[in-house]
A and B are shown apart, each in its own frame.
Chain A
Amino acid sequence: MKYLKKFGLASALATLSVNPALAQEAMSLDQKVNEVFAATTGPFVSLIFAPFPGTSFPWIVMWLVIAATIFTLYFGFVQLRFFSHSISLVKGDYSDPNDAGEVSHFQALATALSGTVGLGNIAGVAVAVGIGGPGATFWMILAGLLGMASKFTECTLGVKYRNEYEDGTVSGGPMYYMSKGFKELGLPGGKFLAILFSIFCILGALGGGNMFQANQAHAQISGIVGDYPGWITGLVFAAVVFAVIVGGIKSIANVTEKVVPFMGIMYVGAALIILIVNYDLIGWAFGQIFEGAFTGLGVAGGFVGALIQGFKRAAFSNEAGVGSAAIAHSAVRTKEPITEGFVSLLEPLIDTVVICTMTALVIIISQQLITDPETGMYVLNEAGSAVATIDGNSGVALTSAAFGSAISWFPFVLAIAVVLFAFSTMISWSYYGLKAWTYLFGEGKTTELIFKIIFCVFIVIGAAASLGPVIDFSDAAIFAMAVVNIFALYFLMKLVKKELESYSARLKAGEIKKFKH
């Protein structure tokens, strides 16, 4: 928060002193917000996305993928070996009936998913495919599959090292496994990492978990009712979120939690229908995905551009290695922390490998991306930064146009879905941010209230700013969490390995039994 305030103040002053006439110009509130915001977050964004020297490849993307690969190898492809066991756990086959009434594996998974399934799957994928071409999908799926191991690692630790308070509530997440886990291993610096992570988690909550959501929700609504200032949407959203997280009006949250899964199913259902209707194009679409993955098919940056976009969007969508899921999953009641790790590895699979791929396939099959009929290569837009689309759409508008080309009324449903997804993601992230905030400043009504108010203010800023700076800052903040989290995971992964070995030995010996058959 400190950084933001400092930057915010400095850049606001700079804007005033550099160009005093600016204030007199007829400048809309949206533009002002946008300008200050872009200037404020610029340095942070460039640091996180700094490319390897001499290349255009951001080091952060490599950082995530290498980590996911290392975890996959270190745990011997845990995502394959324990896949069916994960399903049994979610079904409740191993749940002790005497623990009925506690948070089940399914509930923890569903809660974590409602935080990740959302705009990343709808708008994020459109951004990836829009810039990186169909080939980005291939790298996205690969990153999703590898990311399952990262998720497994962090969620096991999240449950193992959570805090259980006397009143029966729990708090968990990377800040707790960093401080406690490092202490257990006799390593220094756990507390420092925990503080650093918490700062980035708060920024991530305000960025990807808040502003990006508000921004895209506004884009979606104004696309249907006509253009109007973003801060209006922002205020409405802020008021509703305020009612839920400050006012404690559970009924709104409850309705959302029940409608969102339904929307998710409907979204996948609609995508499936479009794919079935165009079944003859599915083979061609996969051809584009594979060819694009290794050649780029003319997109900006070639195949590396496709790879960067795919990896980036996958990480942003499923949050594997980011640490947020560890906060959501740590509420489960289980005697074996590792079981929650197994359950959590389904998350990137559902989020990225299934839902994101559906979106990508629909965009490709609906042929929103313009190709040169002679070369079969994708045509770039005027700026040369992305593939040209039929109506110049990008982000959620591209997904909407893709679905709309097959099912004319679907953009309306999608608009409702986007608004609800945005809302549920905000509620989830307000909780993640709050946990980081209370880790830093202590639990207490006043400190909690301060964070909640800041959170609501950022909704308005997010809705008013334009997509570019918002998406950059959102990505940067969320990836900054991953920098700290993965660094800590490298030290802590041997603790997970011990759990894994002990658990699989007992599972094999039949000591861990099913309660249901």
Chain B
Amino acid sequence: MPTKIIVGLDGAGSGSRALSYAERLAKLIGDCELVVVYVIEWSPFTFQTAEENAQRHKRREEELKIAHERVVDPAVKQLADDGFTASGIVRHGDVAETLNTIAMEQKADQIVVGRASDGGFAKRIFGSSTSNLVMHASMPVTVVG
């Protein structure tokens, strides 16, 4: 059975560093499968107007499409071009929780994520999503600096 690695992307620099690290890791391991995941931050417990609710389904489709087109699909294509078995998932939810849930569903061996925001070391060492993931994940997590 191949080793399965989940790569969490955030559409920014740290995400692409996570991707290249995962690629390197996969090369070292050999028989490896990569799943690129992009989580759209969303909570079912927010307050919205009736009009926003009425248009929500449409917006969700648009958000999924954009995430696929701009972040996930190019990454999957790049991996495939480099000769890896790769697939992509976009889902709404709490970033840390959803990454972990997807990893469990996929029976992955580990999760690779970026250090989150490029806001600078002084501002925060970890993004809150990353630190939440590290603290609550059910499997090994690699945080790429």
Contact = CB atoms under 8 A, between A and B. Distances in A.
Contacts of B44: 92, 95, 100, 104-107
Interface stretch (B15-23, B46-54, B132-140): B46-54
Question: Which of A97, A98, A110, A115 is the most central at the interface, judged by chain B CB atoms within 10 Å of its CB?
Answer: A97
A427 B47 CA distance: 13
A327 interface: yes
Given A92-B44, A101-B63, A331-B50, A170 B98 contact: no
Interface in B19-74: 40, 42, 44-51, 53-58, 60-61, 63-64
Nearest to A428: B50
Contacts, number: 89
Interface stretch (A252-260, A299-307, A314-322): A252-260
Interface string A102-116: 111111101100110
Nearest to B56: A103
Contact of A107 (B53, B57, B63, B64): B53
B56 A331 contact: yes
Interface residues of A, number: 37
Contacts of B101: 97
Nearest to A113: B47
B61 to A, nearest CB: 6
Contacts of A431: 49-51, 54
Most A-side CB within 10 Å, residue of B42, B47, B61 = B47
B46 A107 contact: yes
B57 A111 contact: no
Contacts of A432: 50
A115 B49 CA distance: 9
Contacts of A328: 50, 53
Contacts of B98: 97, 100
Contacts of A332: 53
Contact of A104 (B40, B45, B50, B57): B45
Most buried by B among A98, A170, A258, A261: A170
Contacts of A253: 49
Contacts of A115: 50
Given A168-B58, A169-B58, A108 B47 contact: no
Contact of A170 (B45, B47, B54): B54
Contacts of A105: 44
B54 A101 contact: no
Contacts of B53: 103, 107-108, 111, 328, 331-332
A111 B47 contact: yes
B2 interface: no
B47 A171 contact: no
Interface of B: 40, 42, 44-51, 53-58, 60-61, 63-64, 91-93, 98, 101
Interface of A: 92, 95, 97-98, 100-108, 110-111, 114-115, 164, 167-171, 253, 257-258, 260-261, 327-328, 331-333, 427-428, 431-432
5 contacts: A100-B91, A111-B47, A111-B50, A164-B57, A428-B49
In the complex, the 4 A-B pairs of residues with the closest C-beta atoms, listed nearest first: A101-B92, A168-B58, A104-B44, A331-B53
